[in-house]
C-alpha cells in the first residue's frame, strides 16, 4: 500500500490507535512500550501485513529531529535542578567522556570483525554511542521505578544530555569517511565550538523565553503551550544556524524553564508530556516503517556480537572510566552500566549515512537497528529485576505513597503555612509569576473574601488575601513572610 494524501490520515490514526492499545497491553507483561510501537511500524511496513511502502530516509530524519526536540525539551521541563545538582558533574562526564569511550570501543571492535575501515567502524560506534532519552524517560517513568542515591536523576540527566555528543561524533566521523584526507584533530575545535555555543544559547534562549512567556498577554490559556513550541523550535534552529548544537540548547532551555515561575506552567508541562509521548510513538512507527526486515536478517550475527560487546563490555568500561573521578558504590556503577538503553536516537542518526550515500550506509543502518532493538528488548525488560538484584531499588512501600500522603506524613519534607497580605504589602497588584518566591515553594491556594481561589501564574494578589504556601524547607517561610509583608 502506498501512502497518499487521501489515506495518510486514516493510516496514521489507525497505526496510532493500535500502538496505544499495544502499549497498554505490553505494560502488563513488562515489555517496553516503545518496542511495541516499533513492532507495529514493522508489521505495517512494506514487508509486513500492512504492505505500506516507505523508503524515505530524509522524511524519517526530519520526523526524528522534530520528535527529538519535543522529547528532549519535555525531559528538560520535568528535570528539577535540585535533584540534578548533586549529580551534575557525574551526568556531564557520562554524557561526554562516556559517549566518546563507547564510540571508540564499538568502533574498534567493528573495525576488527568486519570489513569496515577504521573511520567507518568509528562512525558506527558514534551512532550507537548514546543512551536514548525516549527509552530511558519512558521506561523509568512508566515502571515507576524508585532508585536509591540519586541514581534516577543521574540516568535521566545522562540520557537527556548525551545526544548532542553522539550527534557531533556522528557528523564528524561521517565527514571523515567522506573526506579521508582530513585529519581527526580537525574535529576537536568544532566540538568545543558546538558545545560552548549550544550551552550558552540554551540558557540565553531559556531566559528570553521566560520573559516572553510571562510578559506577553495572550488571553487564552491554550495558546501558551503553542507559544512555548514556537520558542523551542526557535532555540533549536537559531542555535544550529550559529554553529552550535541545537539538541543541547533545546534540552538546557527546557531545564531552565522547568525551574522558573511561568504563567500556566502546569498547562505547558502537561501538554508537552502528552506531545512527547505522541512524538515517541510517531518516531518509532516511522522507523519501523523505514526498516526492511529481510535486510536485517543477514546482519543478525554481527549485530549480536556488537550488541553483546556494547552491553557487557563497552558500556561498563565507559561508565567506570567516566565515573572514576567520583565516589560511588560498585553496585550502583554496575546498574548505571546496565541502563544503557539504545532506542530511536541511534536509528535516526543512522539515516545520516543513508542520506550522504556512503558505500556501507545500508549495512550500518541495519546493524544499528538490530543493536537498538536488542538493547531495548534485553535491557528494557530487565531494569526492575536488575535493580532488585543489585539492591539499588527502594522498597515498594516507599514508592507507592501518593503526594497527599507524603505531605501529611510527620516526617515529610513539605510544609504548609498561611500568610496574610497586609495593606502595605509589596505583593498587592502583582501577578503570582512576578513574585520572588524561593525555589521549592509554591502558592497552593488563595483565600479571598471567604472564597477559595486556585492560583495561576497571572492571578493578581489583592489586599487581605490569605496565601497558602507549600514549601520543602520550613526556613523559606521567614523569607517569604518578610518579602510579602
Query: Of 8, 353, 47, whose CA–CA distance to 178 is shortest?
Result: 353
Residue 217, pLDDT > 70, answer: yes
User: What's the mean per-residue pLDDT of the chain?
Assistant: 84
> 312 with 75: CB under 8 angstroms?
no
pLDDT value of residue 408:
41
pLDDT in tens, 142-178: 555 667 777 888 888 888 788 889 999 999 999 999 9
Helix (H, G, I), strand (E, B) or coil at 411: coil
CA angle 38, 44, 49 (to 5 degrees): 130
Confidence at residue 322, expressed as pLDDT on a 0 to 100 scale: 94
pLDDT (average), residues 453-463: 82
* CA atoms within 13 A of residue 2's CA, in its CB half-sphere: 3
Segment 296-317 mean pLDDT? 94
Residue 480 has pLDDT above 60, yes or no: yes
Nearest to 247 by CA among 323, 311, 170, 160: 160
Of residues 140 and 359, more confidence is placed in 359
- What are the residue ranges spanned by the domains of the chain? 8-398, 403-484
Burial 155-166 (b: 16+ CB within 10 A, else e): bbbbbbbbbbbb
Query: For residue range 338-382, what is the model confidence (pLDDT) as tens digits?
Result: 988 887 788 899 999 999 989 899 999 999 999 988 988 888 778
Q: SS3 sequence, 272-322?
A: HHHHHHHHHHHHHHHHHHHCCHHHHHHHHHHHHHHHHHHHHHHHHHHHHHH
Q: Which of 245-259, 398-412, 450-464 has the lowest mean pLDDT?
A: 398-412
- 406 vs 391 pLDDT, higher one: 391
Give the tens place of pLDDT for each residue, 35-74.
777 888 888 887 878 778 888 899 999 999 999 999 889 9
Q: Which residues, including other chains, have CB under 8 Å from residue 319's CB and lie 6 or more apart? A: 94, 98, 333, 336, 337, 340
- pLDDT on residue 244: 92
Which candidate, 3, 16, 82, 80, places its Cα nearest to that of 283? 16
Q: Which residues contact 433 (CB under 8 A, 6 or more apart)?
A: 214, 261, 262, 263, 457, 458
DSSP 95: I
Backbone angles phi, psi at 471, to 5 degrees: -145, 155
pLDDT computed for residue 236 by the predictor: 96
Q: 184-193, 362-371, 411-420, 470-479: which has the minimum mean pLDDT?
A: 411-420
C-alpha–C-alpha distance, residues 483 and 485, integer Å? 6
Per CATH, domain 8-398 is 3.30.70.20: no
Condensed to tens digits (0 to 9), the pLDDT of residues 3-40 reads 666 677 777 788 778 777 766 655 554 456 667 778 88
Q: What is the pLDDT of residues 194-209, one digit of tens each?
A: 999 999 999 999 999 9
Note the pLDDT of residue 278. Answer: 87
- Between these two residues, 145 and 458, which has the higher pLDDT value? 458
The stretch 447-466 carries a mean pLDDT of 82
Report which of residues 134 and 202 the model is more confident about.
202
Helix, coil or strand: residue 427: coil
Looking at per-residue pLDDT, the higher value among 201 and 260 belongs to 201
CB 228 within 8 A of CB 268: yes
Rounded Cα gap, residues 131 and 46, in angstroms? 29
Q: For residue 266, what is its C-alpha cell?
A: 502546569
pLDDT at 440 > cutoff 70: no
CATH class held by domain 403-484:
alpha beta
What is the predicted pLDDT for the residue at 146? 67
Check residue 304 and give its pLDDT: 95
Residue 181: the pLDDT is: 84
Are 432 and 465 in contact by the 8 Å Cβ rule? The answer is no
pLDDT, position 400: 47
Hey, how many other C-beta atoms are within 10 angstroms of the C-beta on 53?
A: 13
Q: Is the pLDDT of residue 404 over 90?
A: no
For the chain, the maximum distance between any two Cα atoms, rounded to a whole number of angstroms, is 79
The answer, yes or no, to whether residue 333 has pLDDT greater than 50, is yes
Q: Mean pLDDT throughout 319-330?
A: 91
264 contacts 221 by C-beta, under 8 angstroms: yes
Give me the sheet containing 451-453, strands edge to edge. Answer: 415-420, 466-471, 441-448, 451-453
Give the confidence band of 397 by pLDDT, cuts at 50, 70, 90: very low
Q: Model's pTM, two decimal places?
A: 0.79
Amino acid at each position: 500500500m502506498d501512502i497518499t494524501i487521501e489515506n495518510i490520515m486514516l493510516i496514521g490514526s489507525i497505526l496510532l490507535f493500535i500502538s496505544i492499545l499495544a502499549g497498554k497491553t505490553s505494560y502488563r507483561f513488562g515489555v517496553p512500550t516503545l518496542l511495541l510501537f516499533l513492532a507495529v511500524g514493522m508489521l505495517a511496513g512494506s514487508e509486513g501485513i500492512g504492505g505500506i511502502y516507505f523508503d524515505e530516509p530524509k522524511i524519517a530524519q526530519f520526523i526524528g529531529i522534530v520528535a527529538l526536540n519535543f522529547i528532549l525539551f519535555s525531559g528538560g521541563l520535568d528535570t528539577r535542578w535540585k535533584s540534578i545538582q548533586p549529580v551534575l558533574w557525574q551526568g556531564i562526564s557520562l554524557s561526554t567522556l562516556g559517549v566518546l569511550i563507547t564510540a571508540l570501543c564499538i568502533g574498534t571492535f567493528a573495525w576488527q570483525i568486519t570489513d569496515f575501515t577504521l573511520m567507518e567502524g568509528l562512525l558506527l560506534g558514534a551512532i550507537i554511542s548514546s543512551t536514548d532519552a525516549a527509552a530511558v524517560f519512558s521506561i523509568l517513568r512508566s515502571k515507576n521505578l524508585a532508585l536509591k542515591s540519586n541514581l534516577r536523576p543521574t540516568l535521566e540527566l545522562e540520557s537527556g544530555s548525551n545526544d548532542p555528543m553522539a550527534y557531533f561524533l556522528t557528523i564528524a566521523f561521517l565527514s571523515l569517511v567522506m573526506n579521508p584526507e582530513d585529519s581527526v584533530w580537525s574535529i576537536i575545535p568544532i566540538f568545543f565550538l558546538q558545545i560552548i555555543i549550544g550551552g550558552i544559547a540554551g540558557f540565553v534562549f531559556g531566559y528570553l523565553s521566560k520573559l516572553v512567556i510571562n510578559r506577553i498577554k495572550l488571553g487564552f490559556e491554550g495558546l501558551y503551550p503553542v507559544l512555548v513550541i514556537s520558542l523551542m523550535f526557535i532555540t533549536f534552529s537559531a542555535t544550529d544556524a550559529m554553529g552550535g548544537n541545537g539538541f543541547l540548547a533545546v534540552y538546557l532551555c527546557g531545564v531552565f524553564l522547568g525551574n522558573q515561575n511561568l504563567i500556566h506552567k502546569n498547562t505547558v508541562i502537561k501538554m508537552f508530556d502528552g506531545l512527547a509521548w505522541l512524538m515517541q510513538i510517531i518516531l518509532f512507527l516511522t522507523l519501523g516503517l523505514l526498516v526492511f526486515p529481510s535486510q536485517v536478517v543477514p546482519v543478525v550475527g554481527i549485530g549480536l556480537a556488537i550488541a553483546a560487546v556494547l552491553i557487557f563490555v563497552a558500556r561498563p568500561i565507559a561508565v567506570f572510566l567516566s565515573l572514576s573521578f567520583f565516589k560511588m558504590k560498585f553496585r550502583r556503577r554496575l546498574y548505571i552500566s546496565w541502563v544503557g538503553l539504545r532506542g530511536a536516537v541511534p536509528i535516526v542518526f543512522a539515516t545520516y549515512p543513508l542520506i550522504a550515500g556512503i558505500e556501507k550506509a545500508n549495512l550500518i543502518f541495519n546493524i544499528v537497528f538490530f543493536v537498538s532493538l536488542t538493547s531495548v528488548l534485553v535491557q528494557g525488560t530487565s531494569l526492575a529485576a536488575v535493580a532488585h538484584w543489585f539492591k539499588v531499588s527502594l522498597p515498594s512501600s516507599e514508592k507507592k505513597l501518593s503526594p497527599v500522603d507524603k505531605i501529611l506524613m510527620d516526617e515529610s519534607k513539605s510544609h504548609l503555612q498561611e500568610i496574610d497580605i497586609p495593606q502595605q504589602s509589596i505583593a498587592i497588584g502583582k501577578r503570582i509569576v512576578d513574585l520572588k518566591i524561593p525555589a521549592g515553594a509554591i502558592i497552593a491556594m488563595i483565600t479571598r473574601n471567604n472564597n477559595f481561589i486556585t492560583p495561576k501564574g497571572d492571578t493578581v494578589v489583592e489586599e487581605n488575601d490569605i496565601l497558602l504556601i507549600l514549601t520543602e524547607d520550613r526556613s523559606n517561610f521567614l523569607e517569604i513572610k518578610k518579602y510579602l509583608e
